[in-house]
Amino acid sequence: METETTDIVPPIPRRAVRDGDGGESLAIRLSAVIVAATVEEPRVLTVRIGRDGVEALPSGPLEVEHRTLEVGLRSWVERQTSQKLGYVEQLYTFGDRDRVETDDIRPSRALTVAYLALVREARPGGAVEAVWQSWYRHFPWEDWRGGKPAALSPLEGRLVRWADKAPSEAERRLRAERLGLAFAASWNEELVLERYELLYEAGLVEEALRDLGQNLPRDDTPVSGMSMAADHRRILATAIGRLRGKIKYRPVVFELMPPSFTLLQLQRTVEALSGVRLHKQNFRRLVEQQGLVEETGGISAETGGRPARLVRFRREVLLERPAPGLRLRAPRRAGA
């Protein structure tokens, strides 16, 4: 399995960093976005925490016995979910001033180092309730495989009104520009985080209202997608955008595929991850030109039609060129 990790801070005890007056502690936490994919659905492994069973990413504090950040992450994931990780790469470090968590002693500011992990789906167990969920439960506006998502139109109208209500003309222009880029006619599937951040700022996701201490609206204000604990949906948005971009220049999609598969299964998996439909012949031509797969000699009769040839990832491609990915073009928005 391919692994890309870079530890950016040394392992330290959870309360080893204090502010100047000794009041606030800095908590180093590790979170994992663990992704698997069926032919039609990208899935993320979530756990339920707290009395209300809020969905969250597997996570935990960095502890003194963890030699590296990645070792700590793997330890927490296996303890909570019984899921062993293969491919892992560091995603981002989240350390905003308002990322504050509370514990049994005193408030602490949380610095979270998030990782992206790709696995072939396994049944989770572990110490907490862990389930695989479609990531489109959390981001329903990101799935364009069936045309323009039903969740998007009411959000766009609210976003335009939010931009128009900016406190100054300069801010209004800035908001309009950001909306034009993130929700453009030429849909860029990689801008998942940018779209979520706009929805958060406009108060159109539950996390924004929760962070302001407000109740959910009783009117027709759309609060879209399943919320997550703390800023875990923001972390997940970052991971989705990273993965959508990375499949274009690295063969990471094969970390999610079984040992042998058909070209149609590969296409449907890529479509599920990217949230867009691809032209069948163009996709097959691209895979063949890139030399990404080789035939196994077997066939599959599970296609419902003519038996399809089984292929497997050709790992030699990793040595042949530096960027052996799927050069997908972002389609135009249909029905916008």
Q: Where are the domains of the chain?
A: 17-136, 139-244, 255-320
Residue 144 has pLDDT above 90, yes or no: yes
Helix (H, G, I), strand (E, B) or coil at 137: helix
Tell me the pLDDT band of 6, cut-offs 50, 70 and 90. Answer: very low
pLDDT for 134 equals: 96
Tell me the pLDDT band of 107, cut-offs 50, 70 and 90. Answer: very low
Question: Helix axis angle, 263-274 relative to 232-246, nearest 10°?
Answer: 140
Strands (E) in 10-158, as ranges, are 17-18, 25-37, 42-49, 54-56, 59-61, 87-94, 100-101, 108-118, 130-134
Q: Convert the pLDDT of each residue in 167-179 to its tens digit.
A: 999 999 999 999 9
pLDDT for 5 equals: 40
Q: Convert the pLDDT of each residue in 198-235 to its tens digit.
A: 999 999 999 998 888 776 555 555 568 999 998 999 99
pLDDT for 163 equals: 97
pLDDT for 8 equals: 34
Q: Convert the pLDDT of each residue in 275-319 to its tens digit.
A: 999 999 999 999 988 899 999 999 887 756 678 999 999 989 888
The answer regarding whether domain 17-136 maps to CATH 3.90.79.10 reads yes
What is the spatial distance between Cα 27 and Cα 100, in angstroms, rounded to a whole number?
9
Q: Dihedral of the CA atoms 244, 245, 248, 253 (nearest 10)?
A: -40
Residue 137 has pLDDT above 80, yes or no: yes
| Average pLDDT estimate for 25-29 | 79
| Average pLDDT estimate for 116-134 | 83
Helix (H, G, I), strand (E, B) or coil at 20: coil
On whether the CB atoms of residues 39 and 90 are closer than 8 A, the answer is no
In the CATH hierarchy, which top-level class contains the domain 255-320? Answer: mainly alpha
pLDDT for 172 equals: 97
Residue 336 has pLDDT above 80, yes or no: no
* Range scoring the smallest mean pLDDT among 41-45, 91-95, 294-298, 325-329: 325-329
* Range scoring the smallest mean pLDDT among 73-87, 266-280, 297-311: 297-311
What is the spatial distance between Cα 118 and Cα 4, in angstroms, rounded to a whole number?
12
What is the spatial distance between Cα 89 and Cα 115, in angstroms, rounded to a whole number?
6
CA 64, 8, 48: angle at the middle one, nearest 5? 65
Tell me the pLDDT of the chain averaged across its residues. Answer: 83
